[in-house]
Structure 1
């Protein structure tokens, strides 16, 4: 039995917030610790976006693996950067839609 539950970092476009929430719920009920993108109810500034992007890379650092939520195979620029970072740091990456 592991010392702690697996930690999964969810990545994906903010256009898929509902899908990321569903993945978060499913993983959480399966006993996984989930770290996910921050959410904002209002538009964010470029400075805030840059800070959130940097913070999300630190979340990837904490995770055992990355799950990319990508309905229809969609990968935006930020998500592609996060995937490249995860690969560079040796984190396994899986996709909800391997397309």
Structure 2
């Protein structure tokens, strides 16, 4: 194992929480440090008392950009090629900062 393991930031729609979890597991078993979304609540999955406010969403989005800053590369989990608005912003940010990006599915 190298002195410092590779660090990968997982990006993708929270609708793919199961797929992101599987990617996280596979990367971790491969000796990679994984940075991933920490919250997966979506309106259609939970009651109104568990929804994320706009302010919380903004904080989570900013935190995720910092995770991209910390990563050596980005893995976009995009089953069926789906990339939503937030993930598109994260991809643009990663590209602007020169991070290598790979996708689980062709785009």
TM-score, normalising length from structure 1?
0.96
- Residue 61 of structure 1 pairs with residue 69 of structure 2: yes
Larger radius of gyration: 2
- Consecutive unaligned residues of structure 2, counting only runs of 5 or more, are 42-49
C-alpha distance in 2 between matches for 1:36 and 1:26: 13
Match of 2:46 in 1: none
C-alpha distance in 1 between matches for 2:63 and 2:39: 12
Give per-residue Cα distances to partners, 1:11-35, cap 9 Å, x unaligned: 0000000000000000000000000
Please report how far the alpha carbon of residue 3 of structure 1 lies from its aligned counterpart in structure 2 after TM superposition.
Answer: 1.9
Q: Secondary structure at the match of 1:10?
A: strand
C-alpha distance in 2 between matches for 1:40 and 1:69: 14
Match of 1:3 in 2: 3
Supply the RMSD in Å over aligned alpha carbons.
1.1
C-alpha distance in 1 between matches for 2:74 and 2:36: 10
Q: Secondary structure at the match of 2:98?
A: coil
Match of 2:104 in 1: 96
User: Number of residues paired by the alignment?
Assistant: 99
C-alpha distance in 1 between matches for 2:103 and 2:2: 24
Q: Secondary structure at the match of 1:20?
A: helix
Match of 2:59 in 1: 51
Poorly superposed stretches of 4+, deviation over 4 Å: none
TM-score, normalising length from structure 2?
0.89
Match of 2:29 in 1: 29
